[in-house]
Amino acid sequence: MKRTKKHGKIAFITTPKYRETCPELVDFFIYRYMYGLCSHFAVMTTGRTTSYLKELLRRPLGAADTSSIEKDTGFPIRSESDFTRWREVVLRGLRPTMSGYPGVIHVAYELVEGRLSALIHLTDWEDKSAKPDSAVLSREANVHNVPSATDVDTAIAYVQAWRSILERTGGKGPLFRVRDRATNPPLRGLDRSHSVLAMVSHDNMKLEICRFAIENAAHIFRHYNYILATGNTGGWIQRFMEAAGRSPADVARIRLCNSGPKGGDLQIAYAVVKGICQDIIFFQDPSVSHPHDSDIRLFEQAVLHKDVKVRLATNVESARFLIGL
């Protein structure tokens, strides 16, 4: 079968609660629009959504399902081979990632890095208000001006708009604005063979973490290949290191992620779930609330995930023990 040019990467996620409470809507959207989405886009899905999709593709079709598929594909579903043709296009367009919090962190990381063009995240208010992963995706989509739909009606409006543009332009688009991407991504070249320390701090703790970094610089640079830091904290640490006379080579080993409000916590969380970062020093200010609190909560849940191996220190004394002083 001829492969169609992809016009970007979108994420398609359904929360467990939404699938439980609105199964007819989820199934309708998949039967009616997933073929078109997978034909024109790389569709990133988290593990549980992928499993649900694959299970749905194995079910016998009803008349309404067949009608929905025919409207999406433009060809009739008269035999098992027709349904197989539809199923293969959908499966080939999927880009599955991990399950649970790690999967959502991967999606958020792709969004922050500028590689995600749109987000369809079918959820409900209870999930968005109680679960940091749902809140994070909505917040980061707004921060980075990425189209985001959390209900079926909005998702359908987006899909119809994309289809209209493709038909009007003969499949040439463009559909989405070109997003800025980092010329030197902080995780580029890092893998599990490196020893990586992450350093993060709230605003009122930046002087404290800089003092700790300077006092223990020799030990830190001797034991770690790289330091990952959120943008503002890392910028402070770099300037303090330069003022203290550390070499340019040492300063260059401090990799700057985005600031926390622009997704820096999520970039580090991704490094954690991928096994790239083993130790984290996160000096927190418990007396202040933060506009990106959902990012911080998801970061903390990633650290505490049963399959994630990482060590975390949240104050000076615990940081001393963590790095082996």
pLDDT tens digits for range 196-252 = 999 999 888 999 999 999 999 999 999 999 999 999 999 999 999 999 999 999 999
Judge whether 38 and 89 are in contact, CB under 8 Å.
yes
pLDDT band at 2 (very low <50, low <70, confident <90, very high): very low
**Averaged pLDDT score across all residues of the chain:** 89
> Would you call 265 a catalytic residue per the annotation?
yes
Other beta carbons less than 10 A from residue 301's beta carbon: 19
Judge whether 44 and 11 are in contact, CB under 8 Å.
yes
For the chain, percent of residues with pLDDT exceeding 90: 63
- Alpha-carbon gap, residue 211 to 308, rounded angstroms: 29
Q: Is the pLDDT of residue 1 over 50?
A: no
Which of 72, 265, 279, 295 is an active site residue? Answer: 265
Taking the C-alpha atoms of 201, 204, 208 and 209 in order, what is their torsion angle to the nearest 10 degrees? Answer: 20
Q: What is the mean pLDDT of residues 119-132?
A: 80
Strand 279-283, strand 311-313: pairing: parallel
- Alpha-carbon gap, residue 108 to 74, rounded angstroms: 33
pLDDT band at 6 (very low <50, low <70, confident <90, very high): confident
CATH hierarchy code of domain 196-322: 3.40.50.1380
Domain positions in the chain? 9-168, 196-322
Q: Is the pLDDT of residue 325 over 70?
A: no
- Alpha-carbon gap, residue 133 to 273, rounded angstroms: 14
As assigned by CATH, the class of the 9-168 domain is: alpha beta
pLDDT tens digits for range 25-80 = 999 999 999 999 999 999 999 999 999 999 999 888 898 889 999 999 988 998 88
Tell me, yes or no, if the two domains 9-168 and 196-322 fold the same way. Answer: yes
Closest CA to 254 of 291, 286, 209, 299: 209
Q: Is the pLDDT of residue 300 over 80?
A: no
Task: Kindly tell me the burial class for residue 66, based on how many C-beta atoms sit within 10 Å of its own C-beta (0-12, 13-18, 19 or more).
Answer: middle
